[in-house]
Amino acid sequence: MARLRLGVLISGHGSNLQALIDANLKRDFGAEVALVVSNQSDAYGLARARDAGLAAALISHRDYRTRDEFDAALDDALNAEGVELVCLAGFMRVLGTGFVERWKNRLINIHPSLLPAFKGLDVHRRVIAAGVRLSGCTVHYVRAEIDNGPIIVQGAVPVLAGDTAETLEARVHEIEHQCYPLAVDLIAKGRVQIEGECVRLLDVRDARGRLINPAPGDPKPA
């Protein structure tokens, strides 16, 4: 079976891109990175992509007069490589409504909190200031509203006494690198079903490993 072709949009270090690249090497992973695009020329993620032998492109937002023109250039690059799912991985530009609608249910993001809590920026400092005991990450489909959309996968980590924004960020990054490939693999294998603005996962199992809500073609639970 052909793998789902991914387009990964980055702006910086690209650690979640690296998690997808590493997953790419596994024979049972249902997707492959077809194109990496950065809007920043100094993004280390571009070097990660090239070192892995992947197609990589710089599309700087500074080269376009409007957000729509920039979004159109992204759209053209993704379509040229036959991208089927777009993954935002530390992409620090707000995409226009037109782009989001064109890629609806084919555009996902990872956010460093347990959405819908702590949307926006400066998440880890705000989490610590709020005194919550758990934080984590959320992989979700993208909608026009920032940090909103059907949730696919979440991962939780403890917020420890004495944590700084930096130590908490490092702990959240570890779970991000597990959750993003998992979410992509579930989508690629047809295990994600969108119902309204919620996601139903089609391979949920009970404590004995029996399928509770099998995907089409799976054996029904006894």
Has 140 been annotated as catalytic? no
Instruction: Spot the catalytic one: 13, 61, 111, 140.
Output: 111
Number of Cα atoms under 13 Å in the Cβ half of residue 83? 26
Work out whether the CA dihedral 39, 45, 50, 52 comes out positive or negative: negative
Q: How many residues does the chain have?
A: 222
H or E segment to which residue 140 belongs:
strand 134-141
Closest CA to 179 of 5, 18, 16, 15: 16
State both tokens at 17. 């891109």
Phi, psi of 157 (to 5 degrees): -135, 155
State both tokens at 18. 């690296």
Helix (H, G, I), strand (E, B) or coil at 40: coil
CB atoms within 10 A of CB 151: 18
Are β-strands 192-195 and 56-58 bridged in parallel, bridged antiparallel, or unpaired? unpaired
Beta bridge partners of residue 141, listed in sequence order: 108
Residue numbers annotated as active site: 111
